[in-house]
Structure 1
Amino acid sequence: MTAAPRPSPEECKVLPAGALRDRFAVVTGAGSGIGRAVTLRLVELGASVMGVGRRAERLAETAALAGHRFTYRALDIRHEPPDFLAELAELDLLVNNAGGQFIAPAAEISRRGFDAVLDLNLTAQAALLQAARPGLAARGGRVVNLSLSAPDRGIPGLVHSAAARAGIAALTRSLARQWPAIKLFCLAPGTVLTAGVGEELPPEELAGIVERTPLGRDTSLDEVAEWVAALGCGIADAVSGALIEVDGGSGLVAAAALAG
């Protein structure tokens, strides 16, 4: 099978300049990977962004790239209350990107390990959403919750993360019904070859997962960033509560057996 062509970073940029001018966004996990790529694209489109992450040095690196419209707060969303969001009178966009997991057979995941992944990928994000609600409602704001492709169809080796990500998709749908003043989206990329993913799987296994994808390619950071920006600027405001899989069709095929 011939892989579909991968768009260049410039080809991914479809939004007009200034599409997010005078908007204020909060991006969690802004110090690396998807969070950094999203932050830089939002700033490029005119938004002011507050980045949140555990490591101040990583956030400072993002700040050096983003410029004066980027500020940051170093905190762990699992252990610190989201008071900073409750203090915001107005908020245009919340990007719940912070997350993580480890690969392990289901029978070997401890209660502590399962709870940690569930807390980071679901419970902490629910707390952020609740704290941000007044500020988002005041502006008719938008939320983009980052997930994984096809969590409802199971991901061997990531049972804890699949459970949490299916939960965030259900949370997105439920809040869309209860909070009509806010547009909520759940964006599920496929394999995004970040440094963090590279630490979880060996290169040959990642290559095999990508090859089995119907389009035969990964999802680029630039594609994810443009999707987040598009959802955040209002292009899809006729939609709310949806799970959008930007995964090259990987959710249509059986997930690879990452572990027993």
Structure 2
Amino acid sequence: MAANPVSSIFRRGLFNNKVAIVTGGGTGIGKTITRELLFLGCKVMIASRKGDNLQKASQEMQKEVAPPADISFMQCNIRKEEEVKSLISTTVEKYGRLDFVINNGGGQFYSPASQISLKGWNAVMETNLTGTFLMCREAYNQWMSEHGGAIVTIITDMWKGWPSMSHSGAARAGVENLTKSLAIEWASEGVRVNCVAPGSSIFSETAAANYGSLDVFSKNLEMVPAKRFGTTEEVSAAVSFLLSPAAAFISGETMKVDAGSSLYRTSWEIPDHKKNEAYTWEDDLKQQKEQTSPSSKL
């Protein structure tokens, strides 16, 4: 088994000749999304504020996905309008089209609301809300207004408020409302706009680094009806579905990938169980191998 297996629940070639931009595509959930899109035949431009991560991720994925992955990278701070304009125009010039935008770039920090400075508040709002708006607007103005396309933004579970993350919760709520507005405004141009909201129990090394401790995941696990951590592959599968023709009649919606965590109430106790198995590419490839291997005969 390869060290970093890549697979998909969807058929290979589904996104042949399609082009996508994935912000934050070099780490965590964004990297998993990028790998699956490449596996499905999509050409991908990954973007992030830190160029070093992008180059390393690009080199890794070119080796992992066969045939050689068509992946490019570009440093871009989505808070800066001119850099976003350049990212979109460079992608269109290089590939001649832009079918998908996955807004995965974001950032926040733990702090009680009373201690968030205006500078800190603005930084989180500009990254998560304004950055998403700029990406959507430029993708639409430079390509999708005439050719259609699909946009998916990664948000988070903020429906019950988000103590210690009030800036990020407010920004993500704004993104969800923006998504609904754009879905209607741009429907007649063939542009679909949706969100995917991973639960806080989706484990990735990037998330663990951001939280600074694995304790956050352990505490959240108590509130997960599936009684397990989610995988980045499960988030990526949701994104791929929303980009696919199977979701042609879905726009302005948020798909929650949290095993029902956002619905959980302490008045109903869910006992420990192992009835909800995780979906991973490694297991998917193993199952494919078992299905294609000829059965032995006595």
> TM-score, length-normalised on structure 1?
0.88
Share of identical aligned residues, percent?
31
Mapped to 1, the partners of 2:57 and 2:146 lie a distance apart of: 28
CA displacement, residues 132-180 of structure 1 (integer Å, 9 cap, x when unaligned) = 004123332100011002x132111111000000000000000001000
CA displacement, residues 182-240 of structure 1 (integer Å, 9 cap, x when unaligned) = 01111101122222321315223321102211222222111111111121122211110
Mapped to 1, the partners of 2:6 and 2:43 lie a distance apart of: 24
Residue 59 in structure 1 maps to residue 68 in structure 2: no
> TM-score, length-normalised on structure 2?
0.78
1:105–1:254 distance in 2 versus 1, CA, 3 Å: farther
Which of 37, 43, 46 matches 1:42? Answer: 37
CA displacement, residues 51-79 of structure 1 (integer Å, 9 cap, x when unaligned) = 10112221112211222400010121113
8 Å contact kept, 1:100–1:121: yes
Question: Whose Rg is larger?
Answer: 2
Which of 110, 129, 144 matches 1:136? Answer: 144
Aligned to 2:280: none
Mapped to 2, the partners of 1:124 and 1:184 lie a distance apart of: 15
Mapped to 2, the partners of 1:102 and 1:254 lie a distance apart of: 26
Task: Provide the alpha-carbon RMSD of the alignment.
Answer: 2.0
8 Å contact kept, 1:12–1:226: no
What amino acid maps onto 1:97 in structure 2? N
Structure 2: runs of 5+ lacking an equivalent: 63-68, 267-298
Mapped to 2, the partners of 1:120 and 1:188 lie a distance apart of: 17
Aligned to 2:191: 182
Residue 72 in structure 1 maps to residue 73 in structure 2: yes
Mapped to 2, the partners of 1:182 and 1:65 lie a distance apart of: 32
Structure 1: runs of 5+ lacking an equivalent: 1-8, 256-260
Q: Secondary structure at the match of 1:216?
A: coil
* Structure number with higher relative contact order (C-alpha < 8 Å, ≥ 6 residues apart): 1
8 Å contact kept, 1:190–1:218: no
Mapped to 2, the partners of 1:105 and 1:45 lie a distance apart of: 42
8 Å contact kept, 2:19–2:100: yes
Mapped to 1, the partners of 2:183 and 2:89 lie a distance apart of: 19
What amino acid maps onto 2:245 in structure 1? G
8 Å contact kept, 1:90–1:138: no
Residue 114 in structure 1 maps to residue 125 in structure 2: no
State the shift of 1:100 in Å.
1.1
8 Å contact kept, 1:24–1:93: yes
Number of equivalent positions: 246
Which of 255, 258, 262 matches 1:247? Answer: 258
